[in-house]
Amino acid sequence: MAATSENLIRDFFDCWHRFDLEGALSRISDDCRFRPDPSAETLTGREAIRAKWGEYMELMRSYDCEYGPMAQSGNVVFCERLEIVGSSRGYEMRVPIVGVFELDEGGKITCWRDYYDTASAPSVEGA
């Protein structure tokens, strides 16, 4: 199960690399909760998340991540990664992040929370 869950998370981020919004959305539950950083409001539901992720993808010119350790406890997967994001304005951000993902029995993401030092990462909107 752990290797499968790790592959699910990697596959999810591969959608981001390809700017495949529909592919990313197909990997979350209808009632998924998403909190992009520790101080942000949690978004709930596919349509609210679609709107936010669509905004992100419009502002990015590139996305990649380098994976660190991943671990699983029950249905929760912890993923350390370095995100490398290029903004449409030419700015590149390199942000170390730990993501926490909750998965349902079918392998859909029901909750995604990211933790990082927001002072070290200018927003894509401002970049």
Any idea what the CATH number is for the domain that residue 58 is in?
A: 3.10.450.50
Q: What does the block give as tokens for 96?
A: 């170390």
Q: Considering the domain boundaries, does residue 126 fall inside one?
A: no
Count Cβ atoms within 10 A of the Cβ of residue 89 and give its class: 0-12 exposed, 13-18 middle, 19 or more buried. Answer: exposed
pLDDT, tens digit, 9 for 90 and up, residues 54-71: 999 999 999 999 999 999
Alpha-carbon torsion angle 125, 18, 42, 86, nearest 10: -30
Closest to 60 measured CA to CA, from 84, 96, 28, 34: 84
User: Is 50 within a domain?
Assistant: yes
Q: pLDDT higher for 100 or 37?
A: 100
Q: What is the mean pLDDT of residues 39-52?
A: 96
Q: Indicate whether 125 belongs to any domain.
A: no
Give how many domains the chain has, as a whole number: 1
Q: Could you give the C-alpha distances from 77 to 10, 71, 80, 84, 104, in angstroms and in order?
A: 11, 6, 10, 21, 11
Distance (Å, whole) CA 30 – CA 116: 26
Residue 93 belongs to a domain: yes
pLDDT at 125 exceeding the cut of 60: no
Q: pTM value?
A: 0.88
Q: For residue 1, what pLDDT is reported?
A: 46
Report in angstroms the alpha-carbon separations of 116 from 46, 94, 119: 24, 11, 9
